[in-house]
Amino acid sequence: MTTAVLADDSVLLRGGLKLLLERHGVTVAADVGDGEQLLAAVAEHRPDVAIIDIRMPPTFTVEGVRAALAVRRSHPGVGVLLLSQHLEHREALAVLQQPGGGIGYLLKDRITDITAFAADVHEVAAAGTAIDPIVVDRLLRRPRAADGIGVLSPREREILARMAAGRSNAGIAADLHLAERTVEAHVRSILAKLGLDDEPDTHRRVLAVLTFLSS
Protein backbone atom coordinates (compact mmCIF):
# COMPACT_ATOMS: atom_id res chain seq x y z
CA MET A 1 0.00 0.00 0.00
CA THR A 2 1.38 3.41 -1.01
CA THR A 3 1.27 6.10 1.67
CA ALA A 4 1.16 9.81 0.82
CA VAL A 5 1.09 13.23 2.38
CA LEU A 6 -0.90 15.82 0.43
CA ALA A 7 -0.19 19.56 0.55
CA ASP A 8 -2.52 22.11 -1.08
CA ASP A 9 -4.06 25.31 0.24
CA SER A 10 -7.52 24.29 -1.04
CA VAL A 11 -9.41 22.23 1.55
CA LEU A 12 -11.91 21.09 -1.08
CA LEU A 13 -9.22 19.93 -3.49
CA ARG A 14 -7.36 18.08 -0.74
CA GLY A 15 -10.54 16.35 0.38
CA GLY A 16 -11.47 15.33 -3.15
CA LEU A 17 -8.01 14.04 -3.99
CA LYS A 18 -7.82 12.12 -0.74
CA LEU A 19 -11.08 10.28 -1.46
CA LEU A 20 -10.13 9.50 -5.04
CA LEU A 21 -6.59 8.36 -4.24
CA GLU A 22 -7.72 6.09 -1.42
CA ARG A 23 -10.00 4.33 -3.92
CA HIS A 24 -6.88 3.57 -5.96
CA GLY A 25 -4.65 2.08 -3.29
CA VAL A 26 -3.06 5.25 -1.91
CA THR A 27 -3.39 5.90 1.83
CA VAL A 28 -3.27 9.64 2.52
CA ALA A 29 -1.65 9.82 5.96
CA ALA A 30 -2.11 13.59 6.22
CA ASP A 31 -3.44 16.49 4.14
CA VAL A 32 -2.13 19.95 4.95
CA GLY A 33 -2.36 23.53 3.69
CA ASP A 34 1.17 24.93 3.73
CA GLY A 35 4.85 24.06 3.56
CA GLU A 36 5.51 24.13 7.29
CA GLN A 37 2.71 21.67 7.97
CA LEU A 38 3.95 19.53 5.09
CA LEU A 39 7.43 19.17 6.58
CA ALA A 40 5.96 18.27 9.96
CA ALA A 41 3.65 15.68 8.38
CA VAL A 42 6.47 14.10 6.36
CA ALA A 43 8.65 13.87 9.47
CA GLU A 44 5.81 12.26 11.43
CA HIS A 45 4.44 9.81 8.85
CA ARG A 46 7.48 9.10 6.61
CA PRO A 47 5.26 8.59 3.54
CA ASP A 48 6.29 6.98 0.27
CA VAL A 49 5.41 10.19 -1.60
CA ALA A 50 4.61 13.83 -0.90
CA ILE A 51 2.11 15.40 -3.32
CA ILE A 52 2.72 19.14 -3.30
CA ASP A 53 1.02 22.13 -4.93
CA ILE A 54 3.69 24.58 -6.09
CA ARG A 55 1.78 27.70 -5.03
CA MET A 56 0.83 27.80 -1.35
CA PRO A 57 0.56 30.40 1.43
CA PRO A 58 1.73 32.93 2.31
CA THR A 59 2.78 34.41 -1.07
CA PHE A 60 1.32 31.77 -3.41
CA THR A 61 4.43 31.80 -5.58
CA VAL A 62 6.96 28.98 -5.07
CA GLU A 63 6.40 27.90 -1.46
CA GLY A 64 5.67 24.39 -2.67
CA VAL A 65 9.01 24.22 -4.47
CA ARG A 66 10.85 25.34 -1.34
CA ALA A 67 8.96 22.76 0.70
CA ALA A 68 9.76 20.05 -1.87
CA LEU A 69 13.46 20.93 -1.72
CA ALA A 70 13.32 20.77 2.08
CA VAL A 71 11.68 17.34 1.92
CA ARG A 72 14.43 16.17 -0.44
CA ARG A 73 17.15 17.39 1.91
CA SER A 74 15.59 15.98 5.09
CA HIS A 75 14.00 12.80 3.70
CA PRO A 76 15.73 11.92 0.39
CA GLY A 77 13.92 8.59 0.12
CA VAL A 78 10.49 10.23 -0.04
CA GLY A 79 9.14 10.65 -3.57
CA VAL A 80 8.08 14.19 -4.52
CA LEU A 81 5.19 14.83 -6.92
CA LEU A 82 4.66 18.51 -7.75
CA LEU A 83 1.32 19.81 -9.02
CA SER A 84 1.19 23.13 -10.83
CA GLN A 85 -1.38 25.27 -12.58
CA HIS A 86 1.31 26.62 -14.90
CA LEU A 87 4.78 25.43 -15.84
CA GLU A 88 7.43 27.05 -13.66
CA HIS A 89 10.59 26.45 -15.72
CA ARG A 90 13.36 27.26 -13.25
CA GLU A 91 11.45 25.83 -10.31
CA ALA A 92 10.88 22.58 -12.21
CA LEU A 93 14.59 22.13 -12.80
CA ALA A 94 15.41 23.07 -9.20
CA VAL A 95 13.41 20.10 -7.92
CA LEU A 96 14.07 17.66 -10.76
CA GLN A 97 17.83 17.94 -10.29
CA GLN A 98 17.74 16.94 -6.62
CA PRO A 99 19.01 13.44 -5.77
CA GLY A 100 16.78 11.08 -3.84
CA GLY A 101 13.60 9.11 -4.42
CA GLY A 102 11.03 9.34 -7.17
CA ILE A 103 10.13 12.64 -8.82
CA GLY A 104 7.07 13.92 -10.64
CA TYR A 105 5.83 17.20 -12.14
CA LEU A 106 2.26 17.33 -13.42
CA LEU A 107 0.09 20.19 -14.65
CA LYS A 108 -3.25 20.30 -12.83
CA ASP A 109 -5.34 21.20 -15.87
CA ARG A 110 -4.10 18.10 -17.70
CA ILE A 111 -5.06 15.64 -14.97
CA THR A 112 -8.26 14.29 -16.49
CA ASP A 113 -7.98 10.60 -15.62
CA ILE A 114 -7.81 9.79 -11.90
CA THR A 115 -6.70 6.22 -12.61
CA ALA A 116 -3.72 7.52 -14.59
CA PHE A 117 -2.99 10.10 -11.90
CA ALA A 118 -3.04 7.42 -9.19
CA ALA A 119 -0.67 5.33 -11.32
CA ASP A 120 1.69 8.32 -11.46
CA VAL A 121 1.51 8.64 -7.67
CA HIS A 122 2.39 4.94 -7.29
CA GLU A 123 5.24 5.35 -9.81
CA VAL A 124 6.82 8.27 -7.95
CA ALA A 125 6.33 6.46 -4.62
CA ALA A 126 8.30 3.54 -6.08
CA ALA A 127 11.26 5.82 -6.96
CA GLY A 128 10.08 6.26 -10.54
CA THR A 129 9.41 9.35 -12.65
CA ALA A 130 6.14 10.98 -13.78
CA ILE A 131 6.59 14.17 -15.77
CA ASP A 132 3.92 15.81 -17.94
CA PRO A 133 4.89 15.67 -21.64
CA ILE A 134 4.36 19.45 -21.90
CA VAL A 135 6.92 19.95 -19.14
CA VAL A 136 9.33 17.65 -20.97
CA ASP A 137 8.81 19.51 -24.25
CA ARG A 138 9.30 22.94 -22.67
CA LEU A 139 12.47 21.95 -20.84
CA LEU A 140 13.91 20.37 -23.98
CA ARG A 141 13.46 23.38 -26.27
CA ARG A 142 17.18 23.71 -26.90
CA PRO A 143 19.60 22.10 -29.43
CA ARG A 144 19.87 18.33 -29.11
CA ALA A 145 21.24 15.42 -31.07
CA ALA A 146 18.92 15.06 -34.06
CA ASP A 147 18.28 11.37 -33.49
CA GLY A 148 17.47 11.62 -29.77
CA ILE A 149 18.36 8.47 -27.87
CA GLY A 150 18.82 6.67 -31.18
CA VAL A 151 22.45 7.83 -31.10
CA LEU A 152 23.07 5.82 -27.94
CA SER A 153 24.35 2.26 -27.74
CA PRO A 154 22.12 -0.44 -26.21
CA ARG A 155 24.17 -0.32 -22.99
CA GLU A 156 23.87 3.47 -22.84
CA ARG A 157 20.10 3.29 -23.32
CA GLU A 158 19.95 0.70 -20.55
CA ILE A 159 21.86 3.03 -18.24
CA LEU A 160 19.74 6.05 -19.22
CA ALA A 161 16.56 4.08 -18.46
CA ARG A 162 17.86 3.46 -14.95
CA MET A 163 18.76 7.14 -14.60
CA ALA A 164 15.14 7.93 -15.49
CA ALA A 165 14.03 5.60 -12.71
CA GLY A 166 16.01 7.68 -10.24
CA ARG A 167 18.99 5.36 -9.83
CA SER A 168 22.37 6.80 -8.85
CA ASN A 169 25.58 5.79 -10.60
CA ALA A 170 26.33 3.44 -7.70
CA GLY A 171 22.85 1.95 -7.92
CA ILE A 172 23.16 1.45 -11.68
CA ALA A 173 26.56 -0.19 -11.22
CA ALA A 174 25.05 -2.63 -8.72
CA ASP A 175 22.07 -3.38 -10.98
CA LEU A 176 24.21 -4.10 -14.04
CA HIS A 177 27.21 -5.65 -12.24
CA LEU A 178 29.54 -2.95 -13.53
CA ALA A 179 32.24 -0.89 -11.88
CA GLU A 180 31.01 2.55 -10.83
CA ARG A 181 33.76 4.15 -12.92
CA THR A 182 32.44 2.30 -15.96
CA VAL A 183 28.97 3.69 -15.33
CA GLU A 184 30.43 7.19 -14.93
CA ALA A 185 32.17 6.83 -18.30
CA HIS A 186 28.91 5.72 -19.94
CA VAL A 187 27.07 8.68 -18.41
CA ARG A 188 29.66 11.09 -19.79
CA SER A 189 29.27 9.48 -23.20
CA ILE A 190 25.45 9.72 -22.99
CA LEU A 191 25.59 13.43 -22.16
CA ALA A 192 28.04 14.11 -24.98
CA LYS A 193 26.04 12.18 -27.59
CA LEU A 194 22.83 13.97 -26.59
CA GLY A 195 24.52 17.33 -27.09
CA LEU A 196 24.15 18.34 -23.45
CA ASP A 197 26.85 20.92 -22.86
CA ASP A 198 27.98 21.78 -19.35
CA GLU A 199 26.15 25.08 -18.76
CA PRO A 200 25.78 26.85 -15.39
CA ASP A 201 21.98 27.16 -15.50
CA THR A 202 21.17 23.58 -16.49
CA HIS A 203 21.40 20.11 -14.96
CA ARG A 204 22.57 17.76 -17.70
CA ARG A 205 21.55 14.55 -15.98
CA VAL A 206 17.96 15.80 -15.64
CA LEU A 207 17.85 16.90 -19.26
CA ALA A 208 19.17 13.50 -20.35
CA VAL A 209 16.36 11.84 -18.45
CA LEU A 210 13.81 14.19 -20.01
CA THR A 211 15.17 13.31 -23.45
CA PHE A 212 14.64 9.64 -22.62
CA LEU A 213 11.08 10.28 -21.44
CA SER A 214 10.23 12.30 -24.54
CA SER A 215 11.32 9.35 -26.67
Does the pLDDT at position 201 exceed 60?
no
Helix (H) or strand (E) holding 205: helix 204-214
Of 165, 164, 162, 160, nearest in space to 188 by CA: 160
pLDDT value at position 41? Answer: 97
Can you give the pTM of this predicted structure?
0.71
Q: Which of 52-61, 89-98, 164-173, 180-189 has the lowest mean pLDDT?
A: 89-98
pLDDT value at position 199? Answer: 56
Average pLDDT, the chain: 84
How distant, in Å, are the alpha carbons of 113, 145, 157, 200, 214 from that of 194?
A: 33, 5, 11, 17, 13
Of 213, 49, 53, nearest in space to 135 by CA: 213
Of 46, 41, 14, 44, nearest in space to 30 by CA: 41
CA distance 202 to 134: 18
The stretch 161-188 carries a mean pLDDT of 87
CA distance 95 to 81: 10
The stretch 71-80 carries a mean pLDDT of 91
Does the pLDDT at position 191 exceed 90?
no
> Could you tell me if 14 and 26 are in contact, meaning their C-beta atoms sit under 8 angstroms apart?
no
pLDDT confidence tier of residue 114, bands split at 50, 70 and 90: confident
Return the higher-pLDDT residue of 180 and 85.
180
β-partners of residue 2 are: 26
> Could you tell me if 53 and 75 are in contact, meaning their C-beta atoms sit under 8 angstroms apart?
no
The stretch 139-147 carries a mean pLDDT of 55
Q: Which of 24-28, 33-37, 58-62 has the lowest mean pLDDT?
A: 58-62
What's the maximum distance between 2 C-alpha atoms anywhere in the chain?
Answer: 50
